[in-house]
Amino acid sequence: MINPELSKKIIDENIKVHTFEAKVYRQIHPEVYNWYQQLLIRKDLKKIFDLNHYQTVLDVGCGTGNITLKLLRHRPAIDAVDLSQEMLEVLRIELQKVRREKDVRFFKMEIEAFIQDCKKKYDLITMSSVLHHFPDYLRVLQKLCSLLNPRGILYVTHEPCGQYHLLREKGLLKKLLKKIDEELYDLFYHKRIRKISAYYKNLPVRDCSYSDYHYFQGFQEEQVKQELLRSGLKIIQYHPFCSELNFGLSNLFDTIFLKTQSHFQIIAQK
């Protein structure tokens, strides 16, 4: 149970961090935007829409649209909620570029306030890299499950696996792979990195210890699964993978051969 003061601090820090990350979000998060991670999300969405043509979707903590933009090709009605005006603004511009801004309704709101006001039910609720940012993520999860239509789908991805980062392995092969990953990233994205450093020079130091509170405190992955089962959902897919390297190829190698499980994905059905 998180006390109200800490809860407010986590929310305030999320606004602060995402306000100044928004413009360069994709560039500074290669661990999310490399081709392997992007492929995983596309494959998951295809699998979900192969089950049924879901009509109403809620993308929680949509940010700059990592999931929202990929949903467009499946043509559902999309509601996108996020507490950062700046992140939503980047998404709005991306939608304008593809002339699809009318297909998404924006809600600039804290998730619990959104749920409290919400009169609608959804066929699909999606979340990428979001749960661990919420002060009480199990309570949010429980409430989101109640917003699902019967047989609706909850898709959660890119959440940290349990205590993974606290127990990080230190094997030789792992260290070597990390070094190669850094070199590759530098080689291919040198220009991009320089641009970002220039942008960051004028910004305050980025401290994510409160915005990513549960990442640093140890995310309760097992309790997430238990909460879904308690809410009457059936887990139809669970997939742990590596998302701690910057380059797609090294993430794939790490997932398959070193079996690193830093993050996970869940598809559950009501």
Ligand X SMILES: C[S@@+](CC[C@H](N)C(=O)[O-])C[C@H]1O[C@@H](n2cnc3c(N)ncnc32)[C@H](O)[C@@H]1O
- Using CB under 6 A, list all residues that contact ligand X: 11, 14, 18, 32, 61-63, 66-67, 82-84, 87, 110-111, 128-130, 133-134
Of 32 and 245, CB closest to ligand X: 32
DSSP string for residues in 102-144: GGEEEEES-HHHHHHH----EEEEEEES-GGGSTTHHHHHHHH
Q: How far is the CB of 133 from ligand X (least distance, A)?
A: 4
Sign of the torsion angle spanned by Cα atoms 192, 188, 33, 225: negative
Tell me whether residue 34 or residue 177 sits nearer to ligand X (CB atom).
34
Distance CA 127, CA 131 (A): 7
CB 159 within 8 A of CB 132: yes
Q: For strand 77-82 and strand 56-60, is the pairing parallel, antiparallel, or unpaired?
A: parallel
Is 40 or 252 the residue whose CB approaches ligand X more closely?
40
| Closer residue to ligand X (CB): 144 or 252 | 144
Residue nearest to ligand X (CB): 63
| Helical (H) or strand (E) element with 148 | strand 148-160
Quick one: 128 or 269, whose CB is closer to ligand X?
Answer: 128
In whole angstroms, the minimum distance from the beta carbon of 257 to ligand X comes to 26
Q: How far is the CB of 172 from ligand X (least distance, A)?
A: 31
Residue whose structure tokens are 């887990």: 235
Q: Rounded CA gap, 102 and 45, in Å?
A: 21
* Shortest CB 109 distance to ligand X, Å: 7
Q: Which is nearer to ligand X, 101 or 110 (CB)?
A: 110
Shortest Å distance, C-beta 106 to ligand X = 12
How many angstroms separate the CA atoms of 200 and 228, rounded? 39
Q: At what angle do helices 221-230 and 137-146 cross, to 10 degrees?
A: 30
By beta-carbon proximity to ligand X, the closer residue of 174 and 192 is 192
Provide, rounded to whole angstroms, the least separation between the CB of residue 9 and ligand X. Answer: 12
Q: What is the DSSP letter of 73?
A: G
The nearest distance, CB 111 to ligand X, in angstroms, is 4
